[in-house]
């Protein structure tokens, strides 16, 4: 490329250029912009070659290229740069004008550098190009590379280089993948580049092997200023074509100016200190600085700025500054910042080296100490210490024979393994689990029944069934003089204290307590452990419970047993069959332990919201204790005795700072926290106390009074309203009782009917007796005459949710989002009532001829179950006879086709729901009488409950035909639950329990 240059020393430039290309190629993780040092190469061939020793010169060039690669950012300059510049100027003078893409006329030559009036502008992204330093530019844009190569082919090797005002965003920041850096490219607007730059000579291009683009080796020559775009069509070019003017630096020495001399000495002193502090600058010194002429201010400024690690904006300010004193001042400031950074870097390196040296020294001393102790017999080998620790762990334990054999075998195996092997750690972990189990160790149960009862009453109000069962369990253990286990399951709605009662039971029995949840558990290995062949294998939860509790007879609470999962990893419910079977769990084998473990002394307490989702074989192994929930009186007692004192302690409020009267608590229970448990009631009380604390702290109030008129400000509007839709039910409407997971609830069954239109199109009114309707139809027919056959109404086919019955009457439609069981109950009720109505009124054929629609309100709530059978039948009978049922009546029971009333569940919940809605007269199946008799007296207070075995009894009670109903006094006041809390006495038994 430069073979026609007049300077003899540069005739070998292609060889040097190839050396530069090979030596300065950066790898994919190269550091930011690289300046290859070629000063020593220039020195090697700048003088005359002696004896034509071409190989000697080539070795110097390769050595210089290697120094530039090691420095990775070093600069070059000196005499070689000047000679190269003069050579290029000679070539420029000999070649004439550039092609049409560049300057349109022959450039002038000033001080050996060709001056073009217009140039193509190459945007630089990372740092500006300072004159006199070879530089490698990484260019990834293929269009820019092709454009520059095309310019070189046309003879135009000089372009302008201008730093962009903002550094483009790198793809690495988004993808987190290392890519080649981008030093140059293209910009959309000319305003994106600074005005001051450098004219650079494109010397060579080396393409990348595995990606597009490549690296350009360029030589910056002089400072230039961009004057603006030329008149050339810019859209046809990849780079902007701009007009430029050349900035001249006065070639004066430091001795001629005192200020410059002072700045020169300070910069040189800073550089010397940088050489002592920074390894990076030491590399530059070896390759560049010691060969560089520092007598000229401009060259010194370019040198320091070229090798500096300052910000791109600071370097651009140095390049753009024309005043030499100001430029040196900026350079000195940059050098000082680099010095501070170098000192910090050196300090960090010293701290790291000191820490490493300390750790190494400590390690060596510890190894020497161990060796000395072993020589003196003061310490045994680590392996012997570990084995002795395992022997000590089982010394005082009653280990079963099979487990003892396994432990001995594993200990002998451990002694033959090397401590560095992976099998050693596996064997050691297995022995740690084997020796840490509480073999034969159990805690002594509490023998004081009264003390246990006192503890249970202190922690929980009510739950008498659970407390009685625990006391019975204690009594059996006392009489037998042995420690036993048991398996119980507490079934009830959320918030009634199922989980918390487990800890109270453990405290009452003086046993250890461990809890884990089975909700959403899919993996059987969580219960039975992983096999030791797997990496990271561990025992199951039960073995972990024994280790954590340190005894063989803890209280283990299996929470949410009704929410077990099942998938390809196994069926945890099947695994529980062995765990919860008293005849099998005395030899329970965990997959990891692989030795029999006795679980028969463990008291298992399971909790569930419903028993319907528990598999039947598992349910058969559980002793079910049902918790129905709390009634109004119980919630009031719990709030006063437990929740309010706990909340006051948690919030820091004292009794003289807040006043919450009983009528407010009563309103919270009745209108805000109607669920079976007390969890929401606790949340409401905490909310009241938090808002009161805010008023005291923020507003400075000394006393906060909560009353009915300002309760809304504390807890918002009431959440619940009465479920009673009718104060007096019309014909065809009956109140039923239902059980939900949240407790009991009332629901209404509504029935309505419409007879078909007669042949003349007349319509029979709703609930009109069929015989009267027929007579009315006959009279209308005699008055108006016979209707034409074409005018007869067409029969509509039944819809999907209607049940056609051509022989017995019109379609039967059921709505309210009922389940399959409840839908079948409605069919049974219709079939039975059609026959039953004929027995009480043979002329009544309304149910046989009318279109019947049966609806259960709150259609968005799914409903299912057989207990609404007699309610549906009573609604249909009431519709047929056009007579309402007695006031304040609610009923529940399953109905058969023959009229038998079968047993139902959830008696306590349904009684509580009836009290809440002031339903005083209740009808229950006769088989549920014993369940009702077990209820507390304060729950049954004010209720009139009648037990029925056949639907005829239901009919007599529902329509007031029985003497027991006719003789009941009229309702004068609501049931005690609706009374003010100040007037409502808490039962003595409940108060004593609290």
Cα-to-chain-centroid distance, residue 763:
62
Confirm whether 867 is a catalytic residue. yes
Predicted pLDDT at 868:
92
Residue 260 pLDDT > 70, yes or no?
yes
Mean pLDDT of 492-513: 87
Six-digit token pair at 165?
């005002």
Mean pLDDT of 54-74: 38
Nearest 5°: phi and psi at 143?
-65, -40
Model pTM above 0.75: no
The pLDDT mean for the chain works out to 77
Q: What is the CATH number of domain 634-715?
A: 1.10.8.60
CA distance 816 to 829: 16
Q: Out of 74, 845, 867, 878, pick the active-site residue.
A: 867
Domains 258-347 and 449-626 share a fold: no
CB atoms within 10 A of CB 68: 28
Q: Going by C-beta distance under 8 Å and a sequence separation of 6 or more, which residues neighbour residue 54? A: 12
Predicted pLDDT at 3:
32
Mean pLDDT of 923-945: 89
Per-residue pLDDT reduced to its tens digit, 687-720: 999 999 998 998 888 888 999 888 888 988 887 7
CATH 3.40.50.1820 is right for the domain spanning 449-626 = no
Please, which residues bridge with residue 924 across strands?
947
Interstrand relation of 588-589 and 214-229 (parallel, antiparallel or unpaired):
unpaired
Nearest 5°: phi and psi at 899?
95, 5
Q: Out of 910, 930, 940, 949, pick the active-site residue.
A: 910
Residue 158 pLDDT > 80, yes or no?
yes
Strands (DSSP E) along 576-643, which ranges?
A: 588-589, 596-597, 603-608, 623-626
| Fold annotation for 118-167+179-246 | 2.30.130
What is the residue extent of each domain of the chain?
118-167+179-246, 258-347, 382-429, 449-626, 634-715, 733-757+809-966
Cα-to-chain-centroid distance, residue 544:
27
Per-residue pLDDT reduced to its tens digit, 105-132: 445 555 556 778 889 999 998 889 988 8
Per-residue pLDDT reduced to its tens digit, 422-456: 888 899 999 999 999 999 888 888 888 888 888 88
Torsion region of 785: left, alpha or beta (phi above 0 gives left; psi -120 to 50 gives alpha): left
Is residue 914 within 8 A of residue 890, CB to CB? The reply is yes
Q: Going by C-beta distance under 8 Å and a sequence separation of 6 or more, which residues neighbour residue 604? A: 485, 486, 487, 488, 556, 558, 579, 580
Per-residue pLDDT reduced to its tens digit, 792-843: 334 434 444 444 443 456 788 999 888 899 999 999 999 999 999 999 999 8
Mean pLDDT of 254-275: 81
Nearest 5°: phi and psi at 775?
-65, -45
Predicted pLDDT at 498:
85
Kind and range of the H or E run holding 778: helix 770-784
Q: What percent of the chain has pLDDT over 70?
A: 77
Residue 370 pLDDT > 90, yes or no?
no
Of residues 317 and 279, more confidently modeled: 317
Range 950-966 burial, b when 16+ CB lie within 10 A, else e: ebebbbbbbbbeeeebe
Architecture per CATH, domain 733-757+809-966, reads as 2-Layer Sandwich (3.30)
Predicted pLDDT at 460:
83
CB atoms within 10 A of CB 900: 14
Predicted pLDDT at 291:
64
Confirm whether 910 is a catalytic residue. yes
Per-residue pLDDT reduced to its tens digit, 604-649: 989 998 888 888 888 888 888 888 778 788 888 889 988 999 999 9
| Fold annotation for 258-347 | Methane Monooxygenase Hydroxylase; Chain G, domain 1 (1.20.58)
CA distance 660 to 711: 10
What is the DSSP code (8-state) at residue 130? P
Residue 768 pLDDT > 50, yes or no?
no
Predicted pLDDT at 301:
84
Residue 751 pLDDT > 70, yes or no?
yes
Of residues 780 and 734, more confidently modeled: 734
Residue 5 pLDDT > 70, yes or no?
no
């Amino acid at each position: 490329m430069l073979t026609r240059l007049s300077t003899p020393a540069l005739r070998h430039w292609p060889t040097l250029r190839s050396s530069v290309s090979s030596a300065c190629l950066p790898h994919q993780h190269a550091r930011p912009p690289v300046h290859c040092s070629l000063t020593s190469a220039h020195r090697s061939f700048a003088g005359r070659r002696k004896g034509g020793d071409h190989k000697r010169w080539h070795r110097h060039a390769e050595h210089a290229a290697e120094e530039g690669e090691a420095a990775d950012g070093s600069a070059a300059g000196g005499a070689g740069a000047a000679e190269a510049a003069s050579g290029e100027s000679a070539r420029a003078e000999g070649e004439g004008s550039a092609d049409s893409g560049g300057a349109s006329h022959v450039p002038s030559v000033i001080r050996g550098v060709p001056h073009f009036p217009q140039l193509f502008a190459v945007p630089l992204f990372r740092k500006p190009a300072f004159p006199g330093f070879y530089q490698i530019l990484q260019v990834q844009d293929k269009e820019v590379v092709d454009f520059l190569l095309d310019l070189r082919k046309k003879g135009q090797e000089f372009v302008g280089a201008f730093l962009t005002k903002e550094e483009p965003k790198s793809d690495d920041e988004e993808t987190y993948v290392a890519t080649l850096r981008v030093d140059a490219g293209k910009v959309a607007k000319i305003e994106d580049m600074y005005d001051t730059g450098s004219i650079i000579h494109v010397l060579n291009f080396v393409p990348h092997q595995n990606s597009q683009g490549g690296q350009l080796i360029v030589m910056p020559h002089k400072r230039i200023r961009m004057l603006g775009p030329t008149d050339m069509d810019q859209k046809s070019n990849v780079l902007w074509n701009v007009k430029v003017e050349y900035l001249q630096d006065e070639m004066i020495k430091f001795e001629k100016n005192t200020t410059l001399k002072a700045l020169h000495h300070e910069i040189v002193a800073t550089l010397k200190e940088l050489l002592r502090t920074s390894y990076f600058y030491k590399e530059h010194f070896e390759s560049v600085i010691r060969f560089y002429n520092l007598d000229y201010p401009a060259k010194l400024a370019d040198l320091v700025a070229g090798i500096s690690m300052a910000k791109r904006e600071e370097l651009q300010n140095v390049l753009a500054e024309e005043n030499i004193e100001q430029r040196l001042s900026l350079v000195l400031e940059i050098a000082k910042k680099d010095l501070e950074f170098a000192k910090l870097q050196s300090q960090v390196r010293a701290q790291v080296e000191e820490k490493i040296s300390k750790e190494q020294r400590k390690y060596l001393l510890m190894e020497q100490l161990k060796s000395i102790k072993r020589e003196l017999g003061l310490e045994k080998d680590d392996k012997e210490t570990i084995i002795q620790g395992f022997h000590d762990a089982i010394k005082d334990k009653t280990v079963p024979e099979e487990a003892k054999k396994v432990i001995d075998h594993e200990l002998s195996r451990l002694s033959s393994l090397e401590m560095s092997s992976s099998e050693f750690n596996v064997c050691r972990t297995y022995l740690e689990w084997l020796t840490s189990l509480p073999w034969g160790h159990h805690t002594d149960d509490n023998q004081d029944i009264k003390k246990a009862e006192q503890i249970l009453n202190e922690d929980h109000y009510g739950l008498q069934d659970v407390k009685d069962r625990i006391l019975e369990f204690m009594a059996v253990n006392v009489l037998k003089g042995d420690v036993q286990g048991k398996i119980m399951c507490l079934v009830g709605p959320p918030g009634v204290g199922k989980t918390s009662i487990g800890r109270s039971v453990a405290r009452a029995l003086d046993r250890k307590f461990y809890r884990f949840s089975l909700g959403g558990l899919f993996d059987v290995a969580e219960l039975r452990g992983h096999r030791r062949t797997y990496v990271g294998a561990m025992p199951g939860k039960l073995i972990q419970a024994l280790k954590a509790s340190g005894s063989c007879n803890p209280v283990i609470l299996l929470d949410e047993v009704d929410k077990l999962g099942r998938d390809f990893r196994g069926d945890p419910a099947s695994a529980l069959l062995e765990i919860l079977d008293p005849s099998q769990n005395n030899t329970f084998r965990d997959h990891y332990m692989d030795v029999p473990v006795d679980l028969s002394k463990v008291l298992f307490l399971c909790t569930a919201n419903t028993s319907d989702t528990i598999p039947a074989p598992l349910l058969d192994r559980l002793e079910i204790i049902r918790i129905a929930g709390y009634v109004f009186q119980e919630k009031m007692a719990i709030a006063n005795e437990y929740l309010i004192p706990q909340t006051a302690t948690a919030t820091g409020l004292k009794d003289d700072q807040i006043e919450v009267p009983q009528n407010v608590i009563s309103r919270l229970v009745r209108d805000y926290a109607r669920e079976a448990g007390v969890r929401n009631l606790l949340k409401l009380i905490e909310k009241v106390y938090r808002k009161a604390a805010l008023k005291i702290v923020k507003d400075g109030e000394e006393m906060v009074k909560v009353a009915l008129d300002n309760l809304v400000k504390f807890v918002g509007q009431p959440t619940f309203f009465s479920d009673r839709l009718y104060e007096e039910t019309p014909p065809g409407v009956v109140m039923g009782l239902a059980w939900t997971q949240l407790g009991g609830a009332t629901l209404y069954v509504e029935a309505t009917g419409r007879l078909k239109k007669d042949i003349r199109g007349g319509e029979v009114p709703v609930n009109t007796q069929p015989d009267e309707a027929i007579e009315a139809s006959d009279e209308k027919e005699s008055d108006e005459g016979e209707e034409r056959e074409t005018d007869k109404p067409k029969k509509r086919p039944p819809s999907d949710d209607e049940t056609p019955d051509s022989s017995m009457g019109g379609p039967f439609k059921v709505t309210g989002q009922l389940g399959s069981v409840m839908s079948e109950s409605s069919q049974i009720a219709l079939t039975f009532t059609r026959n039953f109505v004929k027995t009480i009124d043979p002329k009544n054929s309304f149910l046989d001829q009318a279109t019947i629609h049966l609806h259960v309100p709150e259609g968005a709530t799914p409903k299912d179950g057989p207990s609404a059978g007699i309610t549906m039948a009573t609604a249909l009978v009431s519709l047929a006879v056009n007579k309402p049922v007695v006031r304040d009546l609610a009923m529940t029971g399953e109905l058969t086709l023959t009229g038998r009333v079968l047993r139902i569940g959830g008696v306590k919940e349904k009684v509580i729901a009836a009290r809440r809605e002031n339903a005083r007269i209740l009808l229950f199946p006769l088989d549920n009488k014993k369940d009702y008799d077990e209820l507390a007296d304060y729950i049954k207070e004010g209720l009139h409950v009648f037990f029925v075995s056949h639907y005829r009894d239901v009919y007599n009670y529902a329509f007031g035909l029985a003497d027991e109903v006719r003789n009941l006094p009229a309702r004068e006041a609501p049931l005690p639950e609706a009374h003010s809390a100040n007037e409502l006495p808490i039962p003595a038994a409940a108060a004593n329990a609290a």
